[in-house]
């Protein structure tokens, strides 16, 4: 255990990087609330992880993060759980994400990739802010990607784009993750909370093999073999949550335990601010 026990929420805890993060945070002594979209998978993974770390305080909650009503319900459940335990929230790991080769709209009428990869973490973070700012060192870490380089984000049209290309939608959503983290970190200035975007590198997970077209699945089948195991990026997650020195380090974008310069689009304060405002509108949150 590193220092005092932390309480963390990890979305996308049923597979890949998120599942490994739940395991490694539990091993570090943290109290872990994990989120998955399927009740059956949540129950199965909770059983597996609790047998790997006997007695570990791991609890899975179910929410389909493509639906804003479910994100709100999840936030209410987490608030209830944490208030009942008398603990602040030390870490929120916005990890859940997807790659969709075909266009789908959510029940809220928003393009799925943008809804799950950006709007869900945006909304969940806003709703949990009161708990995060009660911690002596609240951390919001959002999984981004090297895919955010060399892309553009049309803030006004991204929720309902005129044409759809899976790779472009994924790249835009990952740029949104960095812009969101930069703006959130600016808003945290003067408090003890921090926001980070994590680039996990290429990781051997099933992300592009779920519900994608046969060509995407074939490419990913070979590409993922060159990836690292999920335990590699989880080391950086642990570092960002536990290292006391992080507070003094101004960097927001991290990879392999080190700060990294994000794409120049991600450094645009005007773009981050307009994404923030548009996200508030799309989530029916008051404009700030
Ligand atoms: N793998 C890489 O090389 C790589 C590279 C750069 C960035 N990333 C980022 O890392 C993060 C984790 O990806 P991964 O590679 O670990 O993929 P993964 O194994 O597919 O894990 C993604 C997680 O998100 C969950 N999820 C997907 N849609 C959801 C929804 N609508 N509601 C709730 N949960 C949902 C998945 O649930 P199920 O288990 O039910 O599918 C799963 O638990 C993503 O944000 C991804 O963009 C990954």
Q: Convert the pLDDT of each residue in 100-116 to its tens digit.
A: 999 999 999 999 999 99
Evaluate: CB of 17 within 6 angstroms of ligand 1. Answer: yes
As a whole number, the mean pLDDT across the chain is 96
CA distance 184 to 29: 27
Alpha helix stretches (DSSP H) within 31-165:
39-52, 68-85, 112-114, 120-132
Phi, psi of 258 (to 5 degrees): -130, 150
**Mean pLDDT throughout 78-89?**
94
Instruction: Tell me the β-bridge partners of 203.
Output: 228
pLDDT band for position 1 (cuts 50, 70, 90): very low
Q: How confident is the model at residue 288 (pLDDT cuts 50, 70, 90)?
A: confident
Give the pLDDT of residue 171.
Answer: 98
- Does the pLDDT of residue 2 top 60, yes or no? no
Nearest alpha carbon, ligand 1 atom 45: 97
Q: pTM for this structure?
A: 0.97
How many of the other CB atoms lie within 10 Å of CB of 256? 15
Interval 52-78 mean pLDDT:
96
CA of 141 to the centre of ligand 1 (A): 14
Which one is catalytic: 170, 221, 242, 253?
170
Average pLDDT over residues 140-152: 97
157 CB-near residues (< 8 Å, 6+ apart): none
Q: Ligand 1 centre from 98 Cα, in Å?
A: 5
Chain segment 257-274, per-residue pLDDT in tens: 999 999 999 999 999 999
18 lines ligand 1 (CB under 6 A): yes
**Is the distance from CB of 168 to CB of 148 less than 8 angstroms?**
no
Contact 176, 110 (CB under 8 A): no
- Is 170 among the residues known to form the active site? yes
Q: Which residues are paired to 253 by β-bridges?
A: 197
Distance of CA 207 to the CA centre of its chain: 14
Q: Tally DSSP H helices, then E strands, for the chain.
A: 9, 8
pLDDT tens figures, 181-193: 999 999 999 999 9
Q: What are 11's strand-pairing partners?
A: 35
Is the CB of residue 233 below 6 angstroms from any atom belonging to ligand 1? no
Residue 238 to residue 252: CA distance in whole angstroms: 15
Tokens of 185: 């970190």
The minimum-distance atom of ligand 1 relative to the CA of 146 is: 6
d(CA 148, CA 170): 8
Query: pLDDT band for position 3 (50/70/90)?
Result: low
Cα gap 128→93, rounded to integer Å: 12
Q: Listing from the earlier edge strand, what are the strands of the sheet with 31-36?
A: 58-62, 31-36, 7-11, 91-94, 139-143, 194-198, 253-255, 258-259
User: Residue range 58-70: average pLDDT?
Assistant: 98
Nearest atom of ligand 1 to the alpha carbon of 117: 45
């Amino acid at each position: 255990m590193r220092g005092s026990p932390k309480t963390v929420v990890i979305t996308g805890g049923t597979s890949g990087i998120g599942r490994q993060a739940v395991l490694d945070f539990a091993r570090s002594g943290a109290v872990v609330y994990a989120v998955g979209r399927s009740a059956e998978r949540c129950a199965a993974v909770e059983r597996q992880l609790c047998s790997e770390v006997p007695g570990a305080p791991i609890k899975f909650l179910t929410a389909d993060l493509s639906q804003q009503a479910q994100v709100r319900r999840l936030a209410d459940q987490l608030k209830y759980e944490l208030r009942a335990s008398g603990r602040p929230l030390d870490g929120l790991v916005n990890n859940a994400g997807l790659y969709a080769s075909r266009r789908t709209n959510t029940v809220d009428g928003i393009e799925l990739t943008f809804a799950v990869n950006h709007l869900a973490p945006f909304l969940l973070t806003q709703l949990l802010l009161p708990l995060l700012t009660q911690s002596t060192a609240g951390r919001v870490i959002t999984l981004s990607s090297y895919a955010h380089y060399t892309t553009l984000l049309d803030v006004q049209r991204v929720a309902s784009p005129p044409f759809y290309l899976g790779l472009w939608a994924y790249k835009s959503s990952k740029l949104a993750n960095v812009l969101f983290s930069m703006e959130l970190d600016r808003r945290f200035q003067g408090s003890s909370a921090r926001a980070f975007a994590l680039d996990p590198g290429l990781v051997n997970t099933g992300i592009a093999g779920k519900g994608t077209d046969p060509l995407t699945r074939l490419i990913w089948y070979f590409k993922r073999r060159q990836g690292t195991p999920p335990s590699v990026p989880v080391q950086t997650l642990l570092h960002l949550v536990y290292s006391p020195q992080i507070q003094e380090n101004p960097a927001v974008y991290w990879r392999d335990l080190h700060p990294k310069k994000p794409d120049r689009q991600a450094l645009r304060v005007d773009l981050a601010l307009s994404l923030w405002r548009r996200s508030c509108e799309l989530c029916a949150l008051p404009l700030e």
